[in-house]
Structure 1
Amino acid sequence: MPRLVDHQERRRSIIESTWRLIAEQGIENASMRDIARECGYAAPGVLAHYFPNKDALLLASYDLICERTNERIAEHTAGRRGISALRSMCLEIIPADPLTVVEARVAISFWQRAQTEDALRAVGRETMLHWRELMLGFLSQAEHDGECAPLPDPDAVTDELLSIMMGLHVTSMLDPDAITWSRQRHLVERALARLT
């Protein structure tokens, strides 16, 4: 009897292998042949059953990073509101453990390509819009609950927090010894303290 293949699981496994290669070699140096080898396949033709070309694979990889980050945010903000929810959200976005460090390395590679590729930019933009909406909601709760004074420009606060987190992706990759997890958390806490 032939073995049943979980195509969704295999697709995800290919994407995760792609992440590892991009994190190690960079996005331009990760060929379909390299990715197939990393997945344990002799030739890249097997990948075509799941992704018609490298661009489709890269788009799916970036999309999964955003999806996983959003799942972690939803999990860690459930039952929280205001500043507490905002803190939990920020701490899920910054690269803090081996998995999120790999995700950050891969995301940075995608950001470079997103400058010229509309599909990648659309995924990133959609994720950022989702995060802005969540943050604005948490800030509104914080104002309502008296955790912070009324904010004259909540959009500016949101943009500042997003810029800090995206900046931490870059600086923690450039100087991981200085921009450690504890340092990143400290910087997030400083930004949130200014609100209260």
Structure 2
Amino acid sequence: MPRQVDHDERRAVIAEAAWRLIAERGVDAVTLREIAATIGMANGALKHYFPDKSSIVRTAFTSVFESTNTRIRDRLGTATGLAGLRIFCLEVMPVSPVTRLEARVVLPFWQRALADPELAAAYVAAMAYWRAQIRGFLMAARVEGSVTSAVTDDVLTEQVLAMLNGVQALAMLDPAATTPESQRRMLDAFLDGLR
């Protein structure tokens, strides 16, 4: 009797291989054939899961986004307010080997999303999710009294997103200037300014 294939598990394995190859070699250098070979799968079988490169890129981005969110949940524990926001930011910023690899997937995703409405929609949905989380941290920080800034939470949320997105580009393109240490200092200076 043929072995049953867990399609969700297979998609997850493909997504993991795709984002790691994209991070190592760049999105334009990675082919569907290479992804299939990496996981020991026939190229034709891969096309049952992902019909084209755009679907792979979208899945790689979504996989990175979900991995980041899982790490955030795991690290947060009971942290809220500014402590929670700091944990959130450090899991997005490219300050560790994993987050640097993830940033190498995110940057080419942005470039492709400019010309692909489906990829752009995936990005918009991801940022909407993060906006809600950031606002929640800020609201909790105001309740506990650790944020007293007169700047509205909507503006602060956009500043946090701009910092997170921007630092990914800076750290990937100029890592000597935007080191993990400088990123942490930038984050801490921003958070201190909210008090």
- Is the 1:168–1:184 contact (alpha carbons within 8 Å) kept by the matching residues of 2? yes
Which 5+ residue runs of structure 2 have no aligned equivalent? Answer: none
Q: CA deviation at 1:82?
A: 1.0
Residue 194 of structure 1 deviates from its aligned partner by 0.4
Indicate the residue corresponding to 1:56 in structure 2. Answer: 55
Corresponding residue of 2:96: 97
Q: Which moved more, 1:44-53 or 1:109-118?
A: 44-53
Which runs of structure 2 are paired with 1:57-72 in the superposition (5 Å)? 57-72=56-71
- Partner SS, residue 28 of structure 2: coil
Larger mean Cα displacement after TM superposition, 4-13 or 105-114:
4-13
Return 65-74 or 150-159, whichever deviates more: 150-159
Q: Deviations over 1:55-111 (max 9, x none)?
A: 222222111111111222222223111111111111111112222211110111100
Q: Distance in 1 between matches of 2:58 and 2:166?
A: 22
Which residue identity is paired with 2:85?
L
Aligned pair count reads: 195
Task: Give the alignment of 1:14-163 within 5 angstroms.
Answer: 14-41=14-41, 43-149=42-148, 151-163=150-162
Distance 1:152 1:181, change over 3 A: closer
**Does the CA-based 8 Å contact 2:16-2:63 persist in structure 1?**
no
Output the CA distance in 1 between the equivalents of 2:5 and 2:152. 52
Offset, 1:3: 4.6
- What percentage of aligned pairs have identical amino acids? 39
Q: Following TM superposition, by how much is the alpha carbon of 1:6 offset from its aligned partner in structure 2, in angstroms? A: 3.8
1:9 is matched with: 9
How far apart, CA to CA, are the structure 2 residues paired with 1:53 and 1:170? 26
Provide the TM-score with structure 1 as the length reference: 0.90
Deviation, 1:49, is 2.7
**Unaligned ranges ≥5, structure 1:** none
Assess if the C-alpha contact under 8 Å between 2:19 and 2:64 holds in 1: no
SS in 2 for 1:47: helix
Query: Structure 2 CA distance, aligned partners of 1:115 and 1:126?
Result: 15
Is the 1:143–1:151 Cα contact (8 Å) retained in structure 2?
no
Supply the AA of the counterpart residue of 2:35: I
Measure, in 1, the Cα distance between the counterparts of 2:144 and 2:158.
22
Amino acid of the residue matched to residue 21 of structure 1?
L
Q: Which moved more, 1:167-176 or 1:19-28?
A: 19-28
Judge conservation of contact 2:149–2:194 (CA < 8 Å) in 1. no
Q: Note the C-alpha offset of 1:52.
A: 2.2
- Alignment correspondent of 1:165: 164
TM-score (norm. length: structure 2): 0.90
**Alignment RMSD, CA only?**
1.8
